[in-house]
Chains A and B, each alone.
Chain A
Amino acid sequence: MKKLLFLVFILTINTHINAQNQVNGIVQYDFIINNPNGVSFANPYKLYFNNNISFYIKNGEGKRISETDENTMLVNGRMVEEKVIKSSLPKNYVYTNLRDNVLIFREGINQKLFVVNDSLANIKWKLFTENKKIGKYTCQKAVGLYRGREYIVWFTTEIPVSHGPWKLRGLPGLILEVTDKKNKYGFRATLVDLSPNKKIIDKRLKGPEVEKVSSMEKYIEAIKNKQKDFEAMLMATSSDRDLKFKRDCDECPKAEDLSLEIFK
């Protein structure tokens, strides 16, 4: 009888310790795009996570965050109009499961949807002693290279999970802020909730239902041809067959800057 009581006591203690180590949370991020013409956009995303699994998904439309908000304006005495091409595709996401070594992402490129079984990268982070506060969290600086871009990130060990926005992960704490070295892209946590509704977390972390998987090769090809295919799509949908594309100007977008990942 004494042995049985001891066993029950040990099991209770063990469950209690495990429950204390389990971290659940929802973090809202802004995915920032800084264009060469000085116009920036912020796209809201949410990261749902526990210790082993994270699910990063778009959570609304991108908003312009630059000073002017006009659709038509005069730039250097020349009339300029701005147009945003809307997408009817389902939301982009990245699902990461560290226990099963799985990374699945969904991304729309030029009105085509890609769902890809990617691999979990082992990003070699260089840690620095620099600290800064983001909200109430003390964050440490780290720098790492991932698929052609160098990222400066700020993570906090106060949230001891190795997740982060998009595919960036692998540090001893949650990544709250990211800037790419060229300052073309960035991620910024705007809200941290560490006591979320458990049902919502469980539902989001159960894994995506994938119907049709694309190959990584097809995705890489689409990334490489992103600008060319976009312009071809414009030509195909325009009544004007004589569209002229501006090239080699200061504000002109470069093909290699049109995606986070750079594939040679």
Chain B
Amino acid sequence: MKKIILTLGVFLSVYATYAIGSSNQLSVEEDSCTMDIRIYDNEGRLMTILWDQPC
């Protein structure tokens, strides 16, 4: 019985570590989000486009 509980404990601990790692990885992916920014002058002329700007 003790062995089973110990094994379960180790398994849960390993899983928790894996889950936290995946979550961090996801955050890194979110940080790398980029977008284009179209910039118009006051009359609405598209003057330029900025690219690879952080979201």
A residues neighboring B (CB under 8 Å): 31, 33, 35-37, 39-43, 61-62, 64, 72, 75, 78-87, 108, 226-227, 230-231, 234, 240, 243-246, 249, 251-253, 258
Given contacts A79-B55, A87-B42, contact A227 B37 (CB under 8 A): no
| Bound-complex Cα distance A253 to B53 (A) | 18
A contacts with B: majority SS: mixed
B50 at the interface (CB under 8 A from A): yes
Considering the chains assembled together, what is the distance between the CA atoms of A37 and B48 in angstroms?
11
Among candidates A31, A35, A79, A245, residue contacting B33 with C-beta atoms closer than 8 Å: A79
Across the interface, A85 reaches (CB within 8 A) one of B33, B34, B40, B55, namely B40
Binding site for A on B (CB under 8 A): 33-53, 55
- The residue that B46 contacts in the complex, of A37, A234, A240, A244, with Cβ under 8 A, is A37
- A36 vs B31: C-alpha distance when bound (angstroms): 31
Would B44 and A244 count as touching, CB distance under 8 A?
A: no
Alpha-carbon distance A84/B53, docked complex (angstroms)? 17
Q: How many A-B residue pairs have CB under 8 A?
A: 105
Q: In the complex the two chains form, is A253's CB within 8 Å of B44's CB?
A: no
What's the Cα separation between A43 and B38 when bound, in Å?
A: 19
Chain A: minimal CB distance from B21 (Å):
27
CB distance from A170 to the nearest CB of B (A): 25
Let me know if B38 and A80 touch, CB within 8 A: yes
B45 touches A33 (CB 8 A): yes
Residues of chain B within 8 A (CB-CB) of A39 are: 38, 40, 44, 46
Q: Which of B34, B37, B38, B55 has a CB less than 8 Å from the CB of A37?
A: B38
Q: State whether B48 touches A253 (Cβ < 8 A).
A: yes
Cα–Cα distance between A35 and B52 once the two chains are bound (Å):
21
Pair A246/B46 contact, Cβ less than 8 Å: no
With A79-B36, A84-B39, A243-B53 given, name 10 new contacts (CB 8 A).
A35-B44, A35-B46, A37-B38, A81-B53, A84-B44, A244-B50, A246-B36, A246-B50, A258-B45, A258-B47
In the complex, are the beta carbons of B42 and A86 less than 8 A apart?
A: yes
- Chain B residues with CB below 8 A from A64, complex form: 44
A33-B47 in contact given A78-B36, A81-B35, A82-B38 (Cβ < 8 Å):
no
Q: List 30 A-B contacts (CB under 8 A).
A: A33-B44, A35-B40, A39-B44, A39-B46, A41-B43, A41-B44, A41-B45, A61-B42, A72-B35, A78-B35, A79-B33, A80-B35, A80-B36, A80-B38, A81-B35, A81-B53, A83-B40, A84-B39, A84-B40, A86-B42, A230-B48, A234-B50, A244-B50, A246-B49, A249-B49, A251-B46, A253-B45, A253-B47, A253-B48, A258-B47
* Cross-chain contact B45 with A245 (CB below 8 angstroms): no
**Which residues from A are CB-within-8-Å of B45?**
33, 35, 41, 253, 258
Q: Which chain B residue has the least Cβ–Cβ distance from A185?
A: B45
A200 to B12, CA, bound (A): 83
Inter-chain contacts of B50 with A (CB < 8 A): 234, 243-246
